[in-house]
């Protein structure tokens, strides 16, 4: 989820894997099983290229590197590098965006050797790709140069974050090269688009500029980190333990995490910390849950969907039975769903409908959430491969699900998903607008023999019955409740 902050459509990405384990060995550090380097590489290829579009310079570009070449004899390294190359070619040579993927070479590196030739070749390749970019040598306004140099000097001095007011002071000190406020904003937006700084042009976020984007790594690492990297200090470990099990984090606890020695030089005061909270809320890395009442005492608590590892329990999934449930799915057309999109949609839903609680625990799970749509209906959101699946589950019968409720739910989430995809496209530097039909396809479904069978919405709208992959006949009437025409029904 957090890596999406650093994806730019003009970027070059090095995807690395452990050369000792190869591409198809199941990785023991993933307890959910069936995770290999190949599956992780495929996930990241799709995450990076989700926002890709046709361009002359074929950006972004992706290269591969394998680590630990020092564990093999010289002749063994060459054979293994060729094997990796063949495997990657087989995986990606037929990919829709294969021209962005440099699968014909693998840099098998030894990070313990400062004179490693493969690292030198990797650096040369990165420079070569940079020279091929259409933006290389592109003219920029000369009046930007003084402000750009001042920001570079501040980076060199270790400054990570500055206020907009401080930036304007620096700008006005440049006398005849000073920019108008509108031109300063143009400068910031361009610098953001090429990844030199982070500037969010939103009302609550305009007062600060992150002039060192890599500082976000540590800002996020303070609370999104693997257990093996948790500090030994008991208070900190207790906060992280609660967060990893329930996905809940109090603002005071977040500030405590940011006050650790490793992070306190980035966010130096309460004002900068409050700004960063707003940024993380804007990105849906932190989510303010919908409150049951205005008197909810957990007003300063946030949810962190991307940190939760527990899968949705089978007993909750079993609540969604064929006689009580209607289903709809969004299937991304081009690739697998990047984790950022699914978590952001779950975050958007959590801010609209209150999360269900069972034994005081929020029903927030790994790529899934259960909300109370109203007093008699639950809303389930699950991410399954290329699909985001929604279930509306009535306590008694799906015949009692109000078409108004289903349609309003569908309209809210369809609008949210379209805006989320456009949001990440803008974050990655893409300006062209894409309509929702270009991005994802809507499907309706029925729970059948313990699984969900789907049919494209356009097909369901033209028939009263359809036969699923299990050979069962299903009616479309209840499924089309998601698209109830309120106007014509009046």
Inside any domain, residue 331: yes
478 in the same domain as 334: yes
471 in the same domain as 347: yes
433 in the same domain as 292: no
260 in the same domain as 362: no
319 in the same domain as 296: no
Question: At which of 303, 337, 357 does a domain end?
Answer: 303
In the Cβ-directed half-sphere of 61, how many Cα atoms lie within 13 Å? 18
Q: Give me the torsion for CA of 286, 222, 343, 208, rounded to 10°.
A: 50
Q: What are phi and psi of 363, to 5 degrees?
A: -85, 65
pTM: 0.71
Question: At which of 194, 213, 232 does a domain end?
Answer: 213
Specify burial of residue 290 (Cβ count, 10 A radius: 0-12, 13-18, 19+).
middle
Inside any domain, residue 472: yes
Q: How far apart are CA 140 and CA 186, in angstroms?
A: 12
Count the neighbouring beta carbons within 10 Å of the beta carbon of residue 83: 13
Tell me how far CA of residue 66 lies from CA of 13, 78, 252, 255, in angstroms: 14, 12, 41, 37
197 in the same domain as 182: yes
In the Cβ-directed half-sphere of 371, how many Cα atoms lie within 13 Å? 24
Specify burial of residue 196 (Cβ count, 10 A radius: 0-12, 13-18, 19+).
middle
Inside any domain, residue 137: no
What is the model's pLDDT at position 380? 92
State the CATH number of the domain containing residue 54: 3.40.50
Closest C-alpha among 417, 425, 466, 427 to residue 446? 466
β-pairing, 325-332 vs 301-303, is unpaired
449 in the same domain as 325: yes
User: What is the residue-level pLDDT of the chain in tens, covering all 490 positions?
Assistant: 566 667 777 788 999 999 999 899 888 877 667 789 998 898 888 778 775 665 666 788 899 999 999 888 888 888 899 999 999 999 988 887 788 888 888 999 998 998 999 999 999 999 998 888 777 777 778 889 999 999 999 999 989 999 999 999 999 998 888 899 899 999 998 888 777 888 888 888 889 999 998 888 889 989 988 888 888 889 999 999 888 877 888 999 999 999 988 888 888 889 999 999 998 888 778 887 765 544 454 457 888 877 877 788 888 888 888 888 989 988 876 555 566 677 778 878 887 888 888 887 888 888 888 989 988 999 999 887 778 899 999 999 988 888 899 899 998 888 888 877 776 665 554 555 454 556 678 888 888 887 888 888 888 888 888 888 888 888 888 888 888 764 444 4
342 in the same domain as 228: no
Give the per-residue SS3 of the chain.
Answer: CHHHHHCCCCCEEEEEEECCCCCCCCCCCCCCCCCCHHHHHHHHHHHHHCCCCCCCCCCCEEEEEEECHHHCCHHHHHHHHHHHHHHHHHHHCCCCCHHHEEEEEEEECCCCCCCCHHHHHHHHHHHHHHHHCCCCCCCCCHHHHHHHHHHHHHHHCCCCEEEHHHHHHHHHCCHHHCCCHHHHHHHHHHHHHCCCCECCCCCCCCCEEECCCCHHHHHHHCCCCCHHHCCCCHHHHHHHHHHHHHCEEEHHHHHHHHCCCCCCCCCCCHHHHHHHHHHHHHCCCCECCCCCCCCCCCCCEEECHHHCCCCCCHHHHCCCCCCCEEEEEEEECCCCCCHHHHHHHHHHHHHHCCECEECCEECEECCEEEEECCCCEEEEEEEECCEEEEEEEECCCHHHCCHHHHHHHHHHHHHHHHHHHHHHHHHCCCCCCCCHHHHEEEEEEEEECCEEEEEEHHHHCCCCEEECCCCCEEECCCHHHHHCCHHHHC
By residue range, what is the domain housing residue 18? 2-132
Number of folded domains that form the chain = 4
What is the model's pLDDT at position 424? 60
- In residues, how long is the chain? 490
Inside any domain, residue 121: yes
20 in the same domain as 114: yes
Inside any domain, residue 151: yes
Inside any domain, residue 332: yes
Q: Are 109 and 15 in contact (CB under 8 A)?
A: no
Question: At which of 132, 157, 173 does a domain end?
Answer: 132
What is the model's pLDDT at position 89? 92
370 in the same domain as 354: yes
127 in the same domain as 65: yes
Inside any domain, residue 323: yes
Q: How far apart are CA 249 and CA 322, in angstroms?
A: 36
Q: What are phi and psi of 57, to 5 degrees?
A: -90, 5
417 in the same domain as 354: yes
State the CATH number of the domain containing residue 150: 1.10.10.10
Inside any domain, residue 11: yes
């Amino acid at each position: 989820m957090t890596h999406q902050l650093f994806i730019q459509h003009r970027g070059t990405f090095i995807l690395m894997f452990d050369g000792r384990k190869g591409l198809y060995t199941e990785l023991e550090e993933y307890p959910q099983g069936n995770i290999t380097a190949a599956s992780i590489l495929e996930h990241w290829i799709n995450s990076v290229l989700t926002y890709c579009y046709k361009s002359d310079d074929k950006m972004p570009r992706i290269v591969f590197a394998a680590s630990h070449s020092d564990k093999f004899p010289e002749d063994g390294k060459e054979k293994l590098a060729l094997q990796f190359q063949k495997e990657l070619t087989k995986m990606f040579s037929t990919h829709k965006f294969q021209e962005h993927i440099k699968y014909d070479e693998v840099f098998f590196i030894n990070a313990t050797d400062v004179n490693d030739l493969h690292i030198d070749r990797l650096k040369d390749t990165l420079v070569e790709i940079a020279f091929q970019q259409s933006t290389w040598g592109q003219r920029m306004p000369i009046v930007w140069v003084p402000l750009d140099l001042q920001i570079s000097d501040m980076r060199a001095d270790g400054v990570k974050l500055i206020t907009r007011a401080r930036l304007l002071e620096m700008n006005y000190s440049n006398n005849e090269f000073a920019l108008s406020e509108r031109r300063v904003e143009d400068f910031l937006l361009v610098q953001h688009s090429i990844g030199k700084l982070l500037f969010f042009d939103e009302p609550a976020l305009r007062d600060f500029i992150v002039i060192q984007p890599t500082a976000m790594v540590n800002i996020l690492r303070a609370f999104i980190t693997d257990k093996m990297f948790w500090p030994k200090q008991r208070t900190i470990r207790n906060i992280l333990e609660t967060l990893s099990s329930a996905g809940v984090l109090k603002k005071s606890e977040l500030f405590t995490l940011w006050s650790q020695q490793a992070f306190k030089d980035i966010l130096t005061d309460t004002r900068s910390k409050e700004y960063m909270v707003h940024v993380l809320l804007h990105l849906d890395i932190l989510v303010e849950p919908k409150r049951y009442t205005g008197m909810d005492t957990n007003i300063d608590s946030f949810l962190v969907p991307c940190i939760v590892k527990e899968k949705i329990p089978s007993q909750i999934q079993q609540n969604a039975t064929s006689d009580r449930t209607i289903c709809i799915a969004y299937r991304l057309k081009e690739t697998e769903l990047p984790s950022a999109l699914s978590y952001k949609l779950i975050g958007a839903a959590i801010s609209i409908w209150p999360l269900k609680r069972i034994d005081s625990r929020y029903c927030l799970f790994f790529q899934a959430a259960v909300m109370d749509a109203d007093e008699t209906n639950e809303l389930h959101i699950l991410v399954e491969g290329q699909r985001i699946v929604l279930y509306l589950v009535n306590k008694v019968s799906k015949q009692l699900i109000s078409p108004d409720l289903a349609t309003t739910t569908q309209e809210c989430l369809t609008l949210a998903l379209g805006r989320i995809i456009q949001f990440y496209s803008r974050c990655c530097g893409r300006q062209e607008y894409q309509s929702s039909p270009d991005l994802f396809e809507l499907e309706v479904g029925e729970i059948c023999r313990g699984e969900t069978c789907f049919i494209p919405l356009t097909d369901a709208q033209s028939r009263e019955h359809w036969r699923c992959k299990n050979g069962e006949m299903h009616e479309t009437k209840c499924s089309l409740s998601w698209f109830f025409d309120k106007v014509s029904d009046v």
